[in-house]
Structure formats: structure tokens, C-alpha cells
Amino acid sequence: MRHAFDLSGQVAVVTGANTGIGQAIAVALAEAGADIAAVGRTPAEATADKVRALGRRIALIPADLGSIEPVPRIVSETLAALGRLDILVNNAGIIRRADAVDFTEADWDAVIDTNLKSLFFLCQAAGRHMIAQGSGRIINIASMLSFQGGIRVPSYTAAKSGVAGLTRLLANEWAGKGLTVNAIAPGYIATNNTAQLQADATRNRQILERIPAGRWGAPEDIGAAAVFLASPAAAYVQGHVLAVDGGWLAR
């Protein structure tokens, strides 16, 4: 009998798979048996080494998701290289910081285009293929700011709130067609992107005081959640934003 978390024979597209959370997701899916199409602005060579060491195939697909231009190519190159497309993980994202009164249109558009617009159209392109084959898993990477407002990141908050809404909408439309559409909202995860926060003794203490688990999350915590949502174990999970935050939102 197939194990509930077995992804053998599946192919997963992971955007932003070079480092950090994206790399951890790609490796976790490969550990569960999936082959990987790693999408990023630069080749995910370190990720490729880890995936190949697990005996899985990987295709490296260069693409800048600051526009939707590469979206059709991501799907076609995945199918050409790996023969299938079963799982899509929309992890790629950027952030811009400034007070709301000073925020520029350029910074607004850059974040919305990458984090929301390209995410939707990649869901659309993968979704068309998955609907035709009668099955598929889509996992969007949301944020604590899908639930909270934050400060000095207006376009990021708007985009990640939009990711949560799109996840629910797509689940409503596609659940009856054999797809699941869900999201993961990472809490404070120890990556290169949060290195400054970790190094700031005062801010680090404040963050840890709020997290009931008493520690920063690891990228592998998000990878494990992605395996769950991609697997047969989550077949009846739809339109859900799974907070992997050590209890941050519960405090």
C-alpha cells in the first residue's frame, strides 16, 4: 500500500528554489520521492546537488518572475525535461521596505508583480495542465502578513493578503476537478533573509518571547509542511493557509 506521504513518480515545480525555504521545500519533496523542476533567476546548483544525492531527477529552469513572460515556458520545460507536472510550489518572492507615506510606485509594482501577479498566472498555467490530467497539488507560500498588517511593507502585505485570497478562490473553482490548492504561511524562519534580525540581540529576544515554541523556525519545518500538502494525506485539505510559526499567531 502506498504510504500517505509518498510522492514517488510525481514531479514538482518549486520557484525560488536556490536557497533557504525554497531549497528546503525542493529537498523535502525529493526525499518523499518527487522529481524537481527548480525555477529561479540563477541556477539552483546547490539544490540540484542535494536532490541528485537523493537519487531524484532535477531540471534547472532559469526564470525571472518579475514578469509573467516565463510562465508558459516553465510549464513546457518541466514537461519536456521530466515528463509530468503534479505539484506546483509558488515560493519565489521579493520585499521592499519604506514608510507608507514614502513608498514608490516602482517598489509597489515590483513586489505585486513578483509575489502576486506571476504567482496567479503560474497557478493558471499549471492549473490548466492539472485540470486536463484530473489531478494536481498547488501550494502557495503566504506569510504572517497574510493575517497581520506589519509595518513599512505595504506592497508585501497587500501581495501576501492577496495570496491567501487567491488560494481560497482557486480551491473553490478547482477542488471539484481533482486539484487541491493550499498555502503555507511561514513564521520567523532562520534563513539568510532574516540574518540581520537574528543578529540584533534586542529584536531577536523580542521575537523569541512571542513564539511559544521558543525558537526560530528552520527551513525544514516549511519543507515538511509542503510534503504534507503535496501528499495523499492532504487530499481533503482545501483552501487552507497553514501557519507554520511555532505558535506566533496563537500568542
User: Which of 156, 216, 228, 248 is the catalytic position?
Assistant: 156
C-alpha cell at 54: 537523493
Contact 98, 60 (CB under 8 A): no
Using the 8-state DSSP alphabet, how is residue 43 labeled? -
Q: Where are the alpha helices (DSSP H) in the chain?
A: 20-31, 45-53, 71-82, 105-112, 118-133, 154-174, 195-199, 201-210, 219-230
Residue 188 per-residue DSSP state:
S
Ramachandran angles phi, psi of 232, nearest 5°? -60, -25
> How far is Cα 90 from Cα 79, in angstroms, rounded to an integer?
17
- DSSP assigned state of 115: I
In 3D space, the residue among 241, 250, 249 whose CA is nearest the CA of residue 184 turns out to be 241
d(CA 55, CA 72): 28
Grid cell 513608498 is found at: 103
- Take residue 140 and report the three cell numbers written for it: 502557495
Q: Is 156 a catalytic residue?
A: yes
**Please, which residues bridge with residue 90 across strands?**
140
Active site residues: 156
